[in-house]
């Protein structure tokens, strides 16, 4: 039996040569200050500091956050992503029955179902994007309190995720158009621009509501109503022509008016949308986004403490 010698550690640890003290301030530490720090942590001041570079650096994370949301969404469902095609289709069918057949709402001379779908497509994207964005911070509280990454990525991923459903819906609308023998025009090329505009507005609204939701959970209860009210204030189930002419500029202050009219035009080749409506949509959308960015950055400091 070999036993380690008894007299050893207690003393030997203390007799080991002392290394220079690490925590001494000043002195040799001076050399390090030649190199700028990777970053400085202090109480933030100032309004405008978007740090978009950091977001670009972590763009893979954006991809993974979107990927997670898409994956989780259809886990443990039998027909999976088919829901993304089915649910808007079913909703539009209901619209067609109620608003098209019963209420006989005009549809710019197109089959009502195609007309409604072309409006519902950007609307669904927008509604999903902005309601997801509004609740995104609270939904990711477990990340916010435990790890750092640019917080802006959370609402950003929330407005990107519904893009997947959008693409599937768009395909089914194109199928429907084929069925009704409606051929898209060159205007279809403008579609991405209108989608981007919808995303800008959704992100802008989300950037205002998400930080508010961190402090007041009332926001998440308000969002479903907001979605409904907003939908009926936008030309989704009825054409813009139903709005009395003198009221249209005021009506078009709703930035989604320009987006939805733009979608109809670019998909179905209806009359080109009002320049004013599109200009207003872009101006209001950008204003909301810039304001939202400033507000978000301002509130961001306290997220982890309040959430």
Partner 1 sequence: MGDVAIRVENMSKAYKIARAKYRHDTLRDQLVDGVRSLLRPRSESRPSQEVFWALREVSFEVKRGEVVGIVGHNGAGKSTLLKILSRITEPTAGRAEIYGRVGSLLEVGTGFDHELTGLENIYLSGAILGMRKAEIDRKLDEIIAFSEVDKFIDTPVKRYSSGMYVRLAFAVAAHLEPEILVVDEVLAVGDAAFQRKCLGKMGDVAQQGRTVLFVSHNMAAITRLCRWGIWLDRGYLRDHGPTDEVVAKYFAAGVQALGELTFRDRLPEAPGSEYVRLLSFRVRSDHGEVTASLDARSPFSVEIEYEVLRPAAGLRVGLRITAHDGTVLFSSTDADEGEVARDPGTYVSCCTIPGPFLNYGQYFLTVGSDTPMIQSHFLVERGLAFSVEHTGGIGAHISDGRQGVLRPALPWAVRRLA
Of 148 and 225, CB closest to partner 1:
148
Q: Give me the residue label for tokens 């008894």.
A: 6
Helix (H) or strand (E) holding 162: helix 162-179
Among 2, 32, 48, 102, binds partner 1 (CB under 8 A): 32
Question: Which region, judged by CB under 8 A, interacts with partner 1, from 14-22, 166-174, 194-202, 261-269?
Answer: 14-22
Task: Lay out the site mask for partner 1 across 143-182 (x = CB under 8 A, - = otherwise).
Answer: xxxxxxx---------------------------------
Is 7 a binding residue for partner 1 by CB under 8 A? The answer is yes
Residue 252 tokens, joined: 């078009």
Q: Are 285 and 205 in contact (CB under 8 A)?
A: no
CA proximity to 180, closest of 261, 241, 112: 112
Distance of alpha carbon 251 from alpha carbon 244, whole angstroms = 10
Question: Which region, judged by CB under 8 A, interacts with partner 1, from 20-28, 183-191, 203-211, 267-275?
Answer: 20-28
Provide, rounded to whole angstroms, the least separation between the CB of residue 69 and partner 1.
9
Distance of alpha carbon 150 from alpha carbon 214, whole angstroms = 16
DSSP structure string for 115-143: HHHHHHHHHHHHHHHHHHHHHHHHHTHHH
Helix (H) or strand (E) holding 302: none
Provide, rounded to whole angstroms, the least separation between the CB of residue 209 and partner 1.
19
In sequence order, the 6+-apart residues with CB closer than 8 A to the CB of 192 are none
Among 44, 49, 233, 271, binds partner 1 (CB under 8 A): 44
Query: Dihedral of CA 107/110/113/118: which sign?
Result: negative
Task: Lay out the site mask for partner 1 across 60-99 (x = CB under 8 A, - = otherwise).
Answer: xx-xx--xx--xx--xx-----------------------
Is 14 a binding residue for partner 1 by CB under 8 A? The answer is yes
Is 2 a binding residue for partner 1 by CB under 8 A? The answer is no
Among 1, 17, 37, 181, binds partner 1 (CB under 8 A): 37
- CA distances for 265 relative to 82, 108, 239, 273, angstroms: 27, 11, 12, 7
Please give the residue ranges that form the binding site for partner 1 (CB under 8 A).
6-11, 13-14, 18-19, 21-25, 28-29, 31-35, 37-44, 58, 60-61, 63-64, 67-68, 71-72, 75-76, 142-149, 301-302, 304-305
């Amino acid at each position: 039996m070999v036993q380690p010698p008894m007299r050893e550690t207690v003393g030997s640890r203390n007799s080991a040569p002392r290394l220079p003290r690490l925590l001494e301030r000043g002195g040799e530490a001076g050399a390090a200050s030649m190199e700028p720090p990777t970053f400085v942590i202090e109480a933030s001041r100032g309004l405008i500091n978007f740090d978009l570079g950091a977001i670009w650096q972590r763009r893979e994370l954006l991809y993974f956050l979107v990927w997670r949301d898409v994956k989780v969404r259809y886990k443990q469902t039998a027909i999976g992503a088919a829901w993304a095609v089915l649910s808007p289709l079913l909703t539009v069918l209901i619209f067609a029955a109620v608003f098209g057949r019963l209420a006989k709402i005009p549809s710019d001379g197109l089959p009502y179902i195609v007309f409604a779908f072309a409006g519902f497509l950007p609307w669904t994207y927008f509604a999903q994007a902005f309601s997801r964005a509004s609740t995104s911070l609270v939904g990711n509280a477990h990340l916010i309190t435990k790890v750092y990454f640019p917080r802006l990525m959370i609402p950003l991923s929330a407005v990107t995720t519904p893009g997947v459903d959008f693409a599937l819906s768009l395909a089914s609308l194109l199928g429907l158009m084929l069925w009704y023998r409606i051929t898209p025009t060159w205007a279809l090329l403008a579609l991405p621009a209108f989608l981007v505009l919808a995303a800008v507005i959704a992100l802008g609204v989300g950037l205002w509501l998400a930080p508010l939701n961190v402090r007041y959970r009332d926001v998440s209860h308000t969002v479903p109503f907001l979605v409904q009210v907003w939908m009926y204030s936008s030309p989704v189930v009825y054409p813009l022509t139903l709005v009395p002419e003198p009221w249209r500029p005021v009506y078009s202050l709703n930035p989604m008016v320009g987006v939805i009219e733009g979608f109809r035009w670019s998909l179905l080749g209806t009359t080109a949308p009002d320049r004013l409506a599109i200009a207003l949509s872009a101006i209001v959308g950008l204003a909301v986004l810039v304001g939202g960015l400033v507000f978000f950055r301002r509130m961001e400091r306290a997220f982890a403490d309040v959430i």
